[in-house]
Structure formats: structure tokens, C-alpha cells
């Protein structure tokens, strides 16, 4: 599902467009415009996935995790929508006062695929969350996306999020990456 072959690198123009799209996405999420993000940035066939990755010896030949295995996030569109809708119920006590989440994206690399309107895009991220008086957490990792170009702009069709930390140093990961 996430193994879509990356072909040639995209042009400077497409790279610029994709980068701008990502910054817009980050801004929406930072401003907690989750509904807008879902409606205008996310494709209906999204698979939004954060696998659990063990620390294994280099010689260990067991397969990499698939979306059928244990995961941290493993959402289709409806499930992602529930995540978003929950934040709008008014009874998410831990988000009132709201957290401050910030996304730092870098190393954006975009590639063509077999389909003209689809691109594989990889990037690195540092996501920080500050809450309450002193609470802060930081998550470092990489994203591999499938972006689809539509008349309404790019839509996110796949997102695989890999955290570098084996043990998450945060009370939860109810964050959109």
C-alpha cells in the first residue's frame, strides 16, 4: 500500500509547489484548522500510518511492519475524521487550554511515480508540543507521502510516519504529523 516506486526527481517548479503545499499544511495544523485540513488537503482514500518499529539486530531478517501489523496510528479517512471531530466536541479536557504544536519540515525530496498526477514525497520533521506551564515534547522522524495533484490542489493519499525514538517521550501522540 505504501510501496509506491519513486521515479525521477521532480522539476524545480513542482518541488517549489510541493514545498509550499507542505508549509500551508503545517500552518493549518498549527492553527488547529483540522476540519479545513481534512476537507481540503486529504484524499478520501487516505491511509495515514505510524508503524511500531522494534530495535532489532542488523542480521534479523524478519519483514518490515505492514499496515496489518501493530501500529501507533493506522487510520483510513473515516478514522482520521473521527480524530478531527473529537477535537471539536468541546469535551477534550486535555486540549483546553490548547497545546501549542509546531512543525519544522526539512529535506523535502519529491519524485514522479508511474501515475502522472501522483508524487512520492519524503521529508524529515521535528514536531514540538508545549502544554500547560512547562510541559514540552519533541518528536523527530521522517514522512513518506503520496501526494495526488487535483484541480483543487494537492491531496494527501498516503502518509507513513516513522518516529526515530523507540520509546515515545510523551503522554500520547494525539498529534497530526
Partner 1 sequence: MIDMDKLVDIEKSTQSKQVFWDQDIYDRELERIFGRCWLFLAHESQLEKPGDFFTTKMGEDSVIVVRHTDGSLKAFINSCTHRGNSVCTADSGNTRSFVCNYHGWVYGTDGSLVDVPLKERCYHDELDMSTMSLPSIRVESYRGFVFGCFDEAAPALVDFLGDWGWYLDTWMVGAGEGAELIGPPSKSILKCNWKVPAENFVGDGYHVGWTHASALEMLGGELGGLAGNRANMPFDELGIQITTRHGHGFGVIDHAGIGIHEKREGYAKFLQETQPGVAEKLGQPRAELYDGHWNCTTFPNCSFLYGTNTFKVWHPRGPHEIEVWSWVIVHKDMDEDTKREVVKQAVRSFGTAGTLESDDGDNMVNSTRNNQGRHTRANNMDSRMGVGHEGPHPDYPGIVGSSFIGETSYRGFYRFYQEIMSADSWDAIRAKDEQWADCFPNKDYWKDRLAAKAKSGGQ
User: CB-based contacts of 74: which residues, under 8 Å, 6+ apart?
Assistant: 48, 49, 50, 67
User: CB-based contacts of 47: which residues, under 8 Å, 6+ apart?
Assistant: 1, 2, 67, 75, 76, 157, 158, 159
CB of 92 to partner 1, least distance (A): 5
Pick between residue 41 and residue 49 the one whose CB is nearest to partner 1: 49
Pick between residue 62 and residue 107 the one whose CB is nearest to partner 1: 62
CB 157 within 8 A of CB 146: yes
CB of 6 to partner 1, least distance (A): 27
CB of 155 to partner 1, least distance (A): 22
Pick between residue 50 and residue 120 the one whose CB is nearest to partner 1: 50
3-state SS assignment for residue 122:
strand
Residue showing cell 507542505: 22
C-alpha span between 27 and 19 (Å, rounded): 12
Q: Which of 37, 46, 21, 24 is nearest to 175 (CA)?
A: 37
Pick between residue 44 and residue 152 the one whose CB is nearest to partner 1: 44
CB of 13 to partner 1, least distance (A): 35
CB of 128 to partner 1, least distance (A): 16
Pick between residue 112 and residue 131 the one whose CB is nearest to partner 1: 131
C-alpha span between 87 and 85 (Å, rounded): 5
Residues that bind partner 1 (CB under 8 A): 50, 52, 54-57, 60, 62, 68-75, 78-79, 82-83, 85-87, 89-94, 166-175
Amino acid at each position: 500500500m505504501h510501496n509506491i516506486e519513486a521515479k525521477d526527481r521532480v522539476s524545480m517548479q513542482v518541488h517549489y509547489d510541493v514545498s509550499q503545499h507542505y508549509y500551508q499544511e503545517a500552518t493549518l495544523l498549527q492553527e488547529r484548522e483540522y476540519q479545513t485540513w481534512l476537507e481540503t488537503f486529504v484524499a478520501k482514500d487516505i491511509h495515514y500510518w505510524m508503524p511500531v518499529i522494534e530495535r532489532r539486530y542488523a542480521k534479523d531478517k524478519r519483514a518490515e511492519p505492514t499496515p496489518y501489523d501493530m501500529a501507533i496510528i493506522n487510520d483510513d479517512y473515516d478514522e482520521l475524521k473521527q480524530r478531527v471531530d473529537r477535537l471539536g466536541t468541546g469535551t477534550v479536557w486535555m486540549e483546553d487550554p490548547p497545546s501549542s504544536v509546531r512543525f519544522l519540515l526539512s529535506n523535502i525530496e519529491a519524485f514522479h511515480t508511474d501515475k502522472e498526477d501522483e508524487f512520492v514525497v519524503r521529508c524529515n520533521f521535528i514536531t514540538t508540543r508545549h502544554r500547560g506551564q512547562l510541559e514540552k515534547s519533541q518528536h523527530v522522524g521522517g514522512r513518506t507521502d503520496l501526494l495526488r495533484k487535483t484541480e483543487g490542489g494537492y491531496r494527501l493519499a498516503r502518509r507513513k510516519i516513522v518516529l526515530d525514538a523507540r520509546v515515545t517521550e510523551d503522554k500520547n501522540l494525539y498529534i497530526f504529523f
